[in-house]
Amino acid sequence: ACHNHDETVMHFLVVCPARERQRQIALASIGRNARSLAYLLANPEGVKALFKYIALTGLFTATFGDVAPE
């Protein structure tokens, strides 16, 4: 986790340096749209990539199980 910033939604999803590698892997398929919160939350391809990223971070596994898209 990033200890230098508040863990806001925007920070976690788009800019957190501690999660950059997971973000690159999961969001590579959507290119520059990976930095658009609106795209990640509203576009079907963005949502799919977003859930892949969330799964790679492992942060919600204990609560929600595997959230990776099939």
Sign of CA dihedral 29, 48, 27, 64: negative
pLDDT at 1: 65
Could you read off the pLDDT of 20-70 as tens digits, one per residue? 999 999 999 999 999 999 999 999 999 999 999 999 999 888 888 888 877
Residue 1 forms part of a structural domain:
no
Query: What radius of gyration do the chain's Cα atoms show?
Result: 11
Residue 28 forms part of a structural domain:
yes
Residue 3 forms part of a structural domain:
no
In the block, residue with structure tokens 């079907």: 44
> What does the block give as tokens for 7?
């863990």
User: pLDDT category, 17, cuts 50, 70, 90?
Assistant: very high
The Cα–Cα gap between 22 and 3 comes to 17
How many domains are contained in the chain? 1
| Domain of 21, in residue numbers | 9-59
Residue 67 forms part of a structural domain:
no
pLDDT at 63: 84
CB 27 within 8 A of CB 53: yes
Residue 16 forms part of a structural domain:
yes
pTM value is: 0.84
Could you read off the pLDDT of 25-35 as tens digits, one per residue? 999 999 999 99
12, 16, 22, 24: CA torsion to nearest 10 = 110
Residue 64 forms part of a structural domain:
no
